[in-house]
Amino acid sequence: MIDTGESAPDFTVPIARGEAYNDVGEFTLSEHLSEGPVVLAFFPAAFTSGCTEEMCTFRDSLNAFEAVDSSVYGISTDLPFAQNEFIRQEGLTFPLLSDFEHEAIRAYDVVREGFYDVMFVAERSVFVIDDDGEIVYRWAETGDERDFPALVEEIRETVETLAAD
């Protein structure tokens, strides 16, 4: 897995913005680094209980991230059209990135094999990338821990520290 202090691998994937079923564009990580710290929250699959809880925790804390000019992006291997519906159903207020070709999960080495014994998905993990493209924070789920409020608070503190520097 990519670690702190390393350069964040660049990638281009579809972005689901949630305004409509087909509200899909293109997202290239390197084009967004100048906007402030970027939070990439990899999650296995939309519409599952743990992933919904995680993304909704980010949704509920988004104002704190935006206050320090940080951008949050959820990223999964779901198709962008499914992600748009997930955004709509859960009232998510940030876009989701569709890594259906597995480019980003391979580059970040967060591939979870055998999800429901049939597919490859993202391992639940979070990276914070500074405006120089360096990974300054990394977290990966190692068991069944699900304290998303504490995790999101830790990530928020990281981006606030970056913004203060």
Q: Which residues are catalytic?
A: 51
The SS3 assignment for 74 reads strand
Residue with tokens 């998510």: 92
Alpha carbon distance 28, 33 (integer Å): 10
Burial of residue 87 (number of CB atoms within 10 Å: 0-12, 13-18, 19+): buried
Q: For strand 12-16 and strand 24-28, is the pairing parallel, antiparallel, or unpaired?
A: antiparallel
